[in-house]
Amino acid sequence: MQLSVLRILGKEATLGNPGTGKKLATWALALLLLSACDVVKLGSDGKPIIPADPTAGPDYSNQTPQQIAQEFWGPKILPAARSQALDWPALKQAQEKLAGTDTKSVYSKFSAKVGAVDADGMERKLTLNVNGDTVLLQLGPVIKGNAVRDAAGFIHFEDFKNQVQFAQVSRALNKQALGGLPAIDPSWVGQPVDVLAAFTLSHGSIDDGVALDIKRGASQ
C-alpha cells in the first residue's frame, strides 16, 4: 500500500516537474526501505548482538547435568511434586487406568509404616506398607528409573543436546533427591513415616520409587 502511494505521488509530481517527481519517488522509497530495517547493536568485540529467539526452548548446552539438576530442584521440582502429588487412592486409580505396556510417572504423598530397611550393597531399599500395599523406595547409591524427571512434566527430551544428556540429568535428579534425605537405618523398622516420592506406574506394578522427602514418626 505504501509503495503504491509513493508511486502515485511520484507520478503526480512528474506531471508538473519530471525531475522533481523522480527525485521525490527515489527518496521516499529509500526512506521506506530504511524504516523497514532493524537496528542491530554491536557488542564490545564489534560483533552483532543477535536477540534471543522468543520461541526457542531453554539452552542447557553449557551446563553440567549436576548444574541443571540444582537449577531445577528447589525452584521447580519440589514445588511441582508438592502441588501435583497424588494421595495413595488417587495413585491406585491412575494405575488402574493404564493398559498393556503403558507407563506413567507420578508424584505421590502418603503416610506409611516401615516394613524393612535393606542398608547393604549399592541398591539399598526401604520397604513400606501403604494401605495394604508393599512399596519399595530406593536408597541408592545406585538408583534405577526416571520417575523423578518424568513425573515433573516440564522436562522435555527436545530441550537437551541428545539422549545421553537427557539420561544424565535424570541420574543427577535422583542423586539430588537422595542427598536431601535423612540417614535411614534398621531403627526405622516399624515406625510410621510421611513420604513424598516419585514412582513409575504400570498396569501391574509400582516401580522406581524415589523419595523426595521422608519424615519419621508421623502418624498414619
- pLDDT value of residue 129: 97
pLDDT reading at 119 higher than 90: no
Give yes or no for residue 109 having a pLDDT over 80. yes
Q: Report the first-to-last Cα separation within the chain, whole angstroms.
A: 73
Question: Which residues is 114 bridged to in the sheet?
Answer: 128
Mean pLDDT of 158-178: 94
Q: What are the φ/ψ torsions at residue 85 (nearest 5 degrees)?
A: -60, 130
Contact 195, 137 (CB under 8 A): yes
- What are the grid coordinates assigned to 57, written together? 526452548
pLDDT for residue 10:
47
Q: What is the pLDDT of residues 16-29, one digit of tens each?
A: 555 555 555 555 55
Strand 123-130 and strand 133-141: the pairing is: antiparallel
CA distances, 143 to each of 7, 23, 98, 101 (Å): 72, 76, 24, 22
For the chain, how are helix, strand and coil distributed in percent, rounded to 5? 40, 25, 30
The predicted-structure confidence for 50-100, as pLDDT tens digits, reads as follows 444 444 456 677 889 999 999 999 999 999 999 999 999 999 999 999 999
pLDDT band for 214, please (50, 70, 90 cuts).
very high
Give the distance, in angstroms, between the CA of residue 41 and the centroid of all CA atoms in the same chain. Answer: 32
